[in-house]
Amino acid sequence: MVPFDMGLPRYKFWMSGLQKQIGDFESPSKKEFSVIDLSLLIGDLFERSDLQGITVIGEVTNFKRHGSGHLYFSLSEQRDDKAAMVNCVMWRREAGSAQFLESGMKVRAEGSISHYAPQGKYQFYVNRLRKEEDRGAKFVLVEQWKRELEAEGIFALERKRPVPKFPTRVGVVTSETGAVLQDIKNIIARRFPLEIWLSPTLVQGEEAHLRIAEAIRRIDGQVDVIIVCRGGGSFEDLFPFNHPDVARAVAACRVPVVSAIGHEVDTTLCDFAADLRAPTPSAAAEMVVPDRAALSLELQVAGDFMRTALVRRLGVSLEEVGDLRERIRPHRLLRRLTERREYVDEIGERLCRALQVRIGRGRAELSELCGLLTGVSPARALSLGYAFVRRDGKIVGSVGEIDAGDRLEVTLSDGTFYVVVQEVKHGSTV
C-alpha cells in the first residue's frame, strides 16, 4: 500500500529501496524462509525511517470504538478510477484526543506504518488526528440527498406497509455471486420454504446505483415482498445504496420492501425509504417468512386447547342429555302427571269450598241488607197509615206550602185520592 502523501519521485525512490532489500535476500544462500523469518524480514522493511512519523490524509471508514478504548478504522481515498485503503489503529492513550472521530470524516492522521505479524498485515498506528474537513465530500452529499428525499415524503412513516405474514414468493435484489444470496436461501429453506426470485445487480461501483434501481423495478409486482441487500463494507462500498435513484425506486414499489444493507451499524438512504429495515440480510430473510417450527407449535397448542374445550363441552352435554332422559322416562313422567292431577284436584276442591263459603256469606249479607232496605222503604211507611201529599206533582213537606182551595193528591198504601183544602191551620203538632 502506497502512503497517500508520497509524490511520484519519492514513491519511485521508496520502491527502488524496497526492491534492493528484497534483492539482497534473493541470493543463492537464502532461498527458503520460515514463516517467522519471513515475517521478521517484512517487519524490517516496514520499519524503514521513511515510513515512520508520516502524515496520511484520507476519509474515515469502518470506524469502531472498542470497549478497551482503542480505535479501529480505515483511511480510504478514491480518485478517478483508482481507490486505496489503509487499516489504522489508535491506542487508548492517544484516543482521548479523537472523540470527534466518525465514519465519513476526512482527517489528517499522524503516525507510523508497522507490520502486525500474528495476522500477517500491515497497519498504520496513529498517534494524532486532526480534522481535515468537517465531513467527507460524499458524506456531505448523502446529507444533502437525505434532506431532498425527506422533503419529497420518501421517508414518511405513513407510507410504510407491513410485510405479508404468509408470502408465496420473495424477491431478492443483490449480487448473484455474493454469499448474501446463499445465506438468504438457506434461512428461508429452513424456516418456510417458498419461491425465491433473484433480480441480480451490481452492488458496488460507479454505475451500481443505476443497476440497483433497475433491478428493483424489474422485479416489482412479480413477488409478494422484496429484499434489497448486500453484505458489509465501508462507507464507500455502501455508497450506491445512498443514491436518490435507489431510494426513489424503493419508494415507488407496489409491494413492501425490506432493506438490509451492510451490518447493523450501517445505515443508508435505502433503509429510510424501505418499508422495513433489517440489521443484516440474514435478519431480513427471517423477517419476511414465518418460522414453520413456531407455527407448528402454535397449531399444536391451539389444537390441544380446542381438544380440551371439546371434551369439556361433550362432558357437559352428556350430563344434560342424561338429566333430560331421566326426566322423560315413562314411569317418572306418569308419576309426575299423577302428582299434577292430584294437585289440580286438590286445588279444585279448595276453590269449590271457598266459593261455597263465599256464596253463603253473600246470601246472609244480602238478606240482612234486604231487611234494612225494607225497614226504610216508603212502601212500609204507607202500610202503617202514612200518606204522600203532592201539590202539582211535588211532595208537600210543610203546611206552609198549602193554601185554602189548593187541590192536593194524596197517596196511601193501596191507592191515591184527591182533595180540596178548605182551611189551613198552622203551628199544630202531629
| pLDDT, tens only, 247-265 | 999 999 999 999 999 888 7
Per-residue pLDDT, 14: 44
Confidence at 428, pLDDT banded by 50, 70, 90 = low
Per-residue pLDDT, 149: 96
User: 385-422, pLDDT tens digit by residue?
Assistant: 778 788 888 888 788 888 888 888 888 878 888 888 88
Cα–Cα distance between 390 and 381 in angstroms, integer?
16
Mean pLDDT over the full length of the chain:
83
**pTM passes above 0.85:** no
3-state DSSP assignment of residue 204? coil
What's the sign of the alpha-carbon dihedral 21, 27, 32, 34? Answer: negative
What's the sign of the alpha-carbon dihedral 246, 249, 251, 256? Answer: negative
**Residues whose CB falls within 8 Å of the CB of residue 231, separated by 6 or more in sequence, listed in order:** 178, 179, 180, 262, 281
pLDDT score of 26 more than 70: no
Strand partners, 129: 109
Residue pair 19/140 in contact (Cβ under 8 Å)? The answer is: no
Confidence at 375, pLDDT banded by 50, 70, 90 = low
- Cβ-count burial of 224 within 10 angstroms (0-12 exposed, 13-18 middle, 19+ buried)? middle
**Closest CA relative to residue 172, chosen from 291, 275, 260:** 260
Cell numbers for 236: 464507500
**Closest CA relative to residue 420, chosen from 407, 402, 429:** 407
Region 66-74: what's the mean pLDDT? 91
